[in-house]
């Protein structure tokens, strides 16, 4: 018992101040925006949606072992699901699997891949193919991408639960009390759930899609699959520097506030290692891909046969 207490005391010894400050600021902005939505008028949803997006970025930071060494403490810090759709533990399990760099973008082995295997695409309904073509554009990823991703995950996870996957079931069941905390708050401040879903959850996931739209590509060399986006400062903060995605995939345990320093020190080497996959700001995506697909829907070289 003494050993257990001592180890947990040690686990709390390393506490990252910038991440705790970011968490406090996130909850403060979100809480004020929702509590005073009537006083703020029509635009109350904007700070709430930005805070929900920021909270998702903080969840990503937490699953990589920040801001303390205690996983339960870290999880408790992001327990309320401000962006609603995804259970934290489900997100954590999928994202850590996504960090298997040799399998990045694989339609089956990378849970965050938007590519589809050739055989799966060929049997899709024409309407679904049209939706996926639109989803391949920047506009489509922001408008329908959040719901396509969520519905796809729910369908796949229901199949896993029916097949007896207890871990997936537990992830979703644990999401229920987290949602209850959120719903109680919304009820207390008088925000209807349907308005929150449309005005906060949808825009929050659309903002997240700005980052995820460009961060990976299908390339033969695994190290060439992750982007560096030299993002505009609001997005750097909103995404906690995860726009420097190639650096994050090389060193996933590095805290968000150290990524820019590492990138500045090794910029040329990083860009050489990632095959020059450089995007100079998210604004450039609007002109290049607003209504044009960035890449094919079918993965260009993996899962090309039934096997």
pLDDT tens-digit profile of 211-259? 999 999 999 999 999 999 999 999 999 999 999 999 999 999 999 999 9
Per mean pLDDT, which range of 6-15, 161-170, 297-306 is the poorest?
A: 6-15
Res 280 pLDDT > 50: yes
Backbone dihedral angles phi then psi of residue 116, each to the nearest 5 degrees: -125, 145
What local confidence, expressed as pLDDT, does residue 306 receive?
53
What is the DSSP-derived secondary structure letter of residue 41?
A: G
Res 1 pLDDT > 70: no
pLDDT digit string (tens) for 19-53? 999 999 999 999 999 999 999 999 999 999 999 99
The whole-angstrom distance between residue 277's C-alpha and the CA centroid of its chain comes to 20
Q: Which residue is listed with tokens 């450089």?
A: 278
Task: List C-alpha distances in Å: 168 to 50, 80, 145, 165.
Answer: 29, 19, 23, 6
What local confidence, expressed as pLDDT, does residue 185 receive?
98
Rounded to 5 degrees, what angle do the CA atoms 222, 228, 232 make?
A: 160
pTM to 2 decimal places: 0.93
Helix (H) or strand (E) holding 278: strand 278-279
pLDDT digit string (tens) for 114-148? 999 999 999 999 999 999 999 999 999 999 999 99
Total Cβ atoms within 10 A of residue 262:
17
For the chain, the structural domain boundaries read 2-289
Task: List C-alpha distances in Å: 218 to 108, 114, 192, 215.
Answer: 14, 10, 41, 11
Dihedral in degrees, nearest 10, Cα atoms 176, 178, 183, 185: 160
Is 171 exposed, middle or buried, given 0-12, 13-18 or 19+ CB atoms closer than 10 A?
A: buried
What local confidence, expressed as pLDDT, does residue 143 receive?
98
Q: How confident is the model at residue 11 (pLDDT cuts 50, 70, 90)?
A: very low
Alpha-carbon distance of 158 to 34, in angstroms, equals 32
Alpha-carbon distance of 281 to 54, in angstroms, equals 18
């Amino acid at each position: 018992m003494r050993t257990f207490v001592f180890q947990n005391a040690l686990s709390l010894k390393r506490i990252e101040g910038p991440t705790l400050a970011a968490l406090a600021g996130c909850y403060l902005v979100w809480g004020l925006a929702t509590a005073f939505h009537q006083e703020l008028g029509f635009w109350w949803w904007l700070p709430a949606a930005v805070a929900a997006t920021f909270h998702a970025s903080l969840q990503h930071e937490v699953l990589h072992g920040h801001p303390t060494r205690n996983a339960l403490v870290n999880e408790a810090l992001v327990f309320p699901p401000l962006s609603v759709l995804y259970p934290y533990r489900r997100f954590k399990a999928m994202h850590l699997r996504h960090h298997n760099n040799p399998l990045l973008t694989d339609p089956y082995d990378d849970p965050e891949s938007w590519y589809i295997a050739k055989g799966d695409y060929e049997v899709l309904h024409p309407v679904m193919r049209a939706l996926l073509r639109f989803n391949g554009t920047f506009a489509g990823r922001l408008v329908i991408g959040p719901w396509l991703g969520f519905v796809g995950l729910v369908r796949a996870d229901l199949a896993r639960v029916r097949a007896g996957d207890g871990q997936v079931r537990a992830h979703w069941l644990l999401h229920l009390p987290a949602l209850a905390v959120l719903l109680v708050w919304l009820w207390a401040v008088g925000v209807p759930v349907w308005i929150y879903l449309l005005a906060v959850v949808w825009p929050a996931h659309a903002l997240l899609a700005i980052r995820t739209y460009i961060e990976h590509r299908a390339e033969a060399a695994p190290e060439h699959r992750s982007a560096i986006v030299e993002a505009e400062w609001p997005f750097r903060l909103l995404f906690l520097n995860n726009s420097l995605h190639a650096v994050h995939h090389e060193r996933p345990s590095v805290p968000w506030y150290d990524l820019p320093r590492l990138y500045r020190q090794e910029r040329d080497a990083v860009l050489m290692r990632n095959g020059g996959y450089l995007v100079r700001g998210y604004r450039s995506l609007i002109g290049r891909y607003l209504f044009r697909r960035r890449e094919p829907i079918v993965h260009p070289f993996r899962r090309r046969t039934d096997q």
